[in-house]
Homo-oligomer: A and B are copies of this chain.
Amino acid sequence: MYQSFIPPKRLLMGPGPTMVHPRVLEAASRQTIGHLDPAFTGLMEETKSLLKYAFQTENSMTMPVSAPGSAGMEMCFANLVEPGDTAIVCINGVFGDRMKENVERSGGHAIVVEDSWGKPVSIDKVKQALEQHPETKLVAFVHAETSTGALSDAKALTELAHQHHALVIVDAVTSLAGVPLMVDEWQLDAVYSGSQKCLSGMPGLSPVTFGENALDKIRARGTRVQSWFLDLNLVMGYWSSDGGRSYHHTAPVNAIYSLHEALLMLHEEGIENSWARHRENHLLLVEGLEAMGLEMLVPAASQLPQLNAVKIPDGVDDVAVRNRLLQDFDLEIGAGLGELAGKVWRIGLMGESSRPENVEFCLSALRQVIDGGSITAAA
């Protein structure tokens, strides 16, 4: 009745998960060792060090949370928002909404700055909000919106927040390793990302990094963090390199083998080369899509190279196209989310998926499916 699961061979060009390199997959299958074994704690140190490289930071509080990106997000908000705190939340897609939820569930008061889906976060609107709400303690925004493909100006938003004595929380789930993300140079206070997307690790972990000002705010808390699992002080007791490690939870040992290997591959490639590769394959894709008469959702100036939202032409059936791509070409591309459902496809060129041969294959498959003629929408 039950059998081992052998996954179909897919080419993953959606919003994630993305392709995982065989080296990274193989690393996960190495024999599990104890999470307090000296060999493992050595690996933890090296993983932190490689994560600092990926984040371009010297923050000592840099580590992978043992759960997906949404838990990394929650770690940032649960630790940095105290009941009654005001936080400006920038919403220009799905993940901004989720940040608002996090502020509110942490007992904070969320001031929403909205931009339409596909637009970057407006610096002017954030400036206005900060002026209207001088009590603001935090500004939260998504660096690279996975739901739309828009890149926001993390450096400018952070400068602005700091001028108003607010800290920033930055969602870098899709930006890390795909576009420049300079945690120290831009003075980002708290940043969370994921092990997947442009890192192309196995899905399931969430790298985070916290700067000194964020840590000061956490140290000054008058109330306990509401989550035990995500309490930064407790988690760092285990990940800290000073003195004895205190047991918090059993680390996802094999997932960390795998993350280490993905970070090692990024280090071997060089992060600047990774950014350039993402950019080049993106240009190749856009050229091909435009040659087919398709139009991008986001203007070029704020278009992410790694996540490409392309408008579905009138009369073409969204679901039928994606089903044909999956069934006939084993190719996964992403659907639109929320208000963009049925209006765009999201083509991911992240990490291992960002290869010129994948771009060519995707363009060719899309051309065949759309030109096939059988997938126009029912009138």
Binding site for B on A (CB under 8 A): 2-10, 12, 14, 16-20, 23, 25-35, 37-40, 43, 46, 49-50, 66-71, 73-74, 78, 98, 101-102, 104-106, 194, 196, 202-204, 224-229, 247-255, 257-258, 260-261, 264, 267, 326, 332, 337
Closest to A70 in B: B249
Q: Which of B229, B248, B253 contacts A17 (CB 8 A)?
A: B253
**How far, in angstroms, from A51 to B110 measured CA to CA in the complex?**
39
**How far, in angstroms, from A38 to B196 measured CA to CA in the complex?**
20
B28 in contact with A29 (CB, 8 Å): yes
Copies of this subunit = 2
**How far, in angstroms, from A28 to B254 measured CA to CA in the complex?**
9
**How far, in angstroms, from A332 to B102 measured CA to CA in the complex?**
40
A89 to chain B, nearest CB (A): 13
Residue numbers in B under 8 Å from A337 (CB-CB): 247
**How far, in angstroms, from A73 to B249 measured CA to CA in the complex?**
11
B202 in contact with A32 (CB, 8 Å): yes
B204 in contact with A66 (CB, 8 Å): yes
**How far, in angstroms, from A16 to B249 measured CA to CA in the complex?**
11
**How far, in angstroms, from A250 to B252 measured CA to CA in the complex?**
17
**How far, in angstroms, from A39 to B10 measured CA to CA in the complex?**
11
Known contacts A16-B250, A66-B204; is-contact A105 B264 (Cβ 8 Å): no
Closest to A53 in B: B2
Interface centre among A34, A49, A50, by most chain B C-beta atoms within 10 angstroms, is A34
A252 in contact with B33 (CB, 8 Å): no
A249 in contact with B68 (CB, 8 Å): yes
Residue numbers in B under 8 Å from A102 (CB-CB): 228
Residue numbers in B under 8 Å from A23 (CB-CB): 4
Q: Which of B2, B69, B264 contacts A50 (CB 8 A)?
A: B2
Q: List 19 A-B contacts (CB under 8 A).
A: A3-B264, A4-B23, A4-B261, A5-B30, A5-B46, A5-B257, A7-B33, A7-B39, A12-B32, A17-B34, A20-B32, A28-B254, A33-B332, A38-B326, A67-B67, A67-B229, A68-B229, A105-B227, A204-B253
**How far, in angstroms, from A23 to B204 measured CA to CA in the complex?**
20
Residue numbers in B under 8 Å from A225 (CB-CB): 105
A46 in contact with B250 (CB, 8 Å): no
A24 to chain B, nearest CB (A): 9
**How far, in angstroms, from A46 to B203 measured CA to CA in the complex?**
20
Residue numbers in B under 8 Å from A49 (CB-CB): 2
A202 in contact with B105 (CB, 8 Å): no
Known contacts A229-B74, A249-B70, A254-B28; is-contact A264 B34 (Cβ 8 Å): no
A250 in contact with B68 (CB, 8 Å): yes
